[in-house]
Structure 1
Amino acid sequence: MPNETPPVLDGPALWSAQAHLPSVLGRQLVIERGEGCYIYTREGRRLFDGTAGLWHANVGHSRPELAEAAYQQMQQLETYHIFGRYVNDRALELAERLAALSPIADAKVILNSGGSDAIDVACKLARRHWQREGRPTKTIVLSREFAYHGLHAYGTSIAGLDFNRAGYGSESLVPETARVSTYDIAAVERTVNEIGADNIAALVAEPIQGTGGVIPPAPGYLEGLQRICRENDILLVVDEVITGFGRTGHMFASERYRLKPDLLTFAKGVTSGYAPLGGVLVAPEIWQPFYRDNSETPIFRHGATYAGHATASAVALRNLDLLEQDKLLPRVSELETLLSSELTRLQSYDAVTDTRVAGLLGGVTLAEHLSAEAITDQLIERGFITRPLRGNTVQISPPFTTTDDEIKQLVEALSDVLTEQEGN
């Protein structure tokens, strides 16, 4: 019968994230162990983690140093909140460490639980700044086509991936948002002029777009964004949730691209995924009005129960130690050169339309007759995890501890799969 209601599928109680459930139920990989650059399924399969989880496992999996840091901290104090007069010592120590590393001079640090939290706080703070400045029309937050900024209310609203904004009864959960060109700085300028700078609070941009398809910036593009923001009193919010803490060979991609953000969001690499932690670095012109010694000084109403979580902060501090001790940022630069060389070889395939590398972030765009999702499934069968992204792109972004041979083996496996496809 044509109008018969499809059956409801059964499955685990866990509702998987970002999943078309009929497509994944019965095919899910249950991960139960990790070691270095590899993860192991419940059935005992060993898979090379070519995406570092969701871009976060920078120092590799199951590092005993990070487990020990969490264990020791929990024995002393699992956490205490940082509201009002209260603060814990690990959150204070981490904030000082991050401020010293920050590409923003004399930054203050807002801590929370992850990247989506950080984006919500940054967008709210941008709007709060202009309201406090007496410029109430500056409410619109701009973001780029193909951008991904998490899935909280603000992240959903400023997404440049339409499928992440659709289905909620309006064009944008938070109405005052708009998208600008990802490639064309002149088009960005036109959009700003059309909307009017007096109506724009902030522009949010990833230095290298991740989920949108591993898109490095066009030459001069990021510099152009910064110029437009400065000329029009628009706050520049740099989303370094993926790129922060070494993914581009610099502690922050803002250093690589000579950016001076007003606000910078971070997460993922700050703990290498060993604990949920994120935050915002805040420039002096934004934080100073909230620190004035005056009874009329306003409060910025931010905070969550686990903001400045003591154990997460202890893990982050030890993770930052490992980045330095193991010389992982210089290693990323070496791996970038190797990955770029290896992926360039794939451009000889008719099945490949483009390859891109920036830091230890690689993307391989496939021809329309292939499916990136199908290719990544075939790579799993060969022992390698990659990920399909927008634009029919295969993501490659392994841990910083990856060896040269592992990079070569992953790309060779992808080459073999493409060879099979061209023969079919």
Structure 2
Amino acid sequence: MGAVRRAEFVLTRGDDVWLFDEGGSRYLDATASLWCVNVGHGRREIADAVAAQMRELATYQTFGDIANPPALELTRRLAALAPVPGAKIFLVNGGGDAIDTAAKLAREYFVRTGESERTVLVSREHSYHGTQGFGTALAGMPGNRIAAPFVPDVSVVAHDDPAALEAEFERLGPGRVAAFFAEPVIGAGGVLPPPPGYLERVREICDRHGVLFVVDSVICGFGRLGDWFGIERFGVVPDMIVFAKGVTSGYLPLSGVVTHERVAAPFWDDPAAAPFRHGATYSGHPAACAAALANLDILEGDGLLKRAEDLEGELHAALRTLADHPLVTEVRGGTGVLGALELAPERLGADPTLPARVARAARERGALIRPMTSALGFSPPLTLREEHLDLLVDAVRGGLSAVL
């Protein structure tokens, strides 16, 4: 806070993959803001849909029996797209809200099904699940566990070893674990694709131990991995899916949880069931839902899920051309429109600010990239083209060399 209060980088306008600062300089947005502007900046279709909805009904809460047309249309549409049977949708405002919702749903599900001792929530090293109460407690990034844990009964295991997950379930004891949280591709923790077969194995382990499998697709959904919810390509059916970011391409805050019909049943099937006393003032916000509906139309109409299938390889190939740089020790990517350059550990040991310094140098050369703990992250809009990749590589190589 103290370092930036007199040195703000002020952005004033966006157009497709480009951003412009207050001085008129142009930058390639190679991170889609925070992994979310999947359809690109400045889409009039979304702005017009939001304005039209605001003229009709800008906002109203959706507690009890209250609903609005955009919320009903959006949840029905998402349920139809979701890769789980009998999907039900719980809408909230952001990824952290949705993680808290899924965590509370998991614990309450077991209370309502007679296994109230199932309270433990398990996540992975390097994982990011937001910065609210449950998300901070579940964080697999040590630097994000500020003042944590806010909630008891959480555990973190290796990010790439199914055997470690099963051993942790066994250590905790039978009937103790409620849910396991996993990102299909770990995002903020370094862009770490799952080892082959990993997600399939953990699904089997969760089934064997009666544990709910919660997929955190906040970063991975709505085209980022080439499908709607970021899990379909692995052939795994989760118990819950957490989504946010790409559902509106970040144009308005919106998120939610998809639940399997089995998980929804104790809350949904009996009209006399006690209410799930959880929600937010802006859950089901009409204008936000209108933005999401327009965004889904663009993703479908412009063929951006198919574009993502091609772009993931193009981005990975472009980043691999930087593998020979002295500051780069590993190039990650190839699973979705996501990538990372891991920086040399000996250099990081001498200067932990290295990722931020390289990102700043790349920005001075016209590209916005994401500094992470030990790497540089990439997650451009799905509208990115080959000529943009050339500019990106040149800016990043120039930034690396300037810092070196």
Structure 1 length-normalised TM:
0.91
Does the aligned pair in 2 maintain the 1:197–1:234 contact within 8 Å? no
CA distance in 1, matches of 2:143, 2:181: 19
Deviation at 1:164, TM superposition (A): 1.6
| Residue number in structure 2 paired with 1:12 | none
* Cα pair distance change 1:137/1:416, threshold 3 Å: same
Deviation per CA, 1:255-288: give whole Å up to 9, x if none.
0111211010000000001111000001111111
Does the aligned pair in 2 maintain the 1:246–1:328 contact within 8 Å? yes
- Matched letter for residue 248 of structure 1: L
1:20-419 matched pairs, under 5 angstroms: 21-166=1-146, 168=147, 171-293=148-270, 295=272, 297-357=273-333, 358-368=335-345, 369=347, 371-390=354-373, 392-419=374-401
| Residue number in structure 2 paired with 1:5 | none
- Matched letter for residue 384 of structure 1: A
Does the aligned pair in 1 maintain the 2:29–2:369 contact within 8 Å? yes
Does the aligned pair in 2 maintain the 1:353–1:366 contact within 8 Å? yes
Measured on the aligned residues, the alpha-carbon RMSD in Å equals 1.3
* Identity score, percent: 44
Does the aligned pair in 2 maintain the 1:79–1:88 contact within 8 Å? no
SS at match of 1:253: coil
Deviation at 1:294, TM superposition (A): 5.1
CA distance in 2, matches of 1:363, 1:235: 30
- Matched letter for residue 175 of structure 2: D
SS at match of 2:122: strand
SS at match of 2:78: helix
| Residue number in structure 2 paired with 1:7 | none
Does the aligned pair in 1 maintain the 2:362–2:398 contact within 8 Å? no
Deviation at 1:36, TM superposition (A): 1.1
Deviation at 1:420, TM superposition (A): 4.5
Deviation per CA, 1:117-140: give whole Å up to 9, x if none.
100000000000111111121001
Deviation per CA, 1:184-234: give whole Å up to 9, x if none.
121222111111241110001101011100010011211121111100000
- Matched letter for residue 218 of structure 2: V
Structure 2 length-normalised TM:
0.96
CA distance in 2, matches of 1:24, 1:259: 43
| Residue number in structure 1 paired with 2:351 | none
Deviation at 1:250, TM superposition (A): 1.4
CA distance in 1, matches of 2:403, 2:13: 32
CA distance in 2, matches of 1:421, 1:277: 38
Deviation per CA, 1:345-401: give whole Å up to 9, x if none.
2222232110111211010101131511111010010010001112x1101111011
CA distance in 1, matches of 2:8, 2:165: 41
Gaps of 5+ in 2: 349-353
Q: How many residues align?
A: 397
- Matched letter for residue 363 of structure 1: A
SS at match of 2:322: helix
| Residue number in structure 2 paired with 1:13 | none
Deviates more, 1:193-202 or 1:263-272: 193-202
Gaps of 5+ in 1: 1-20
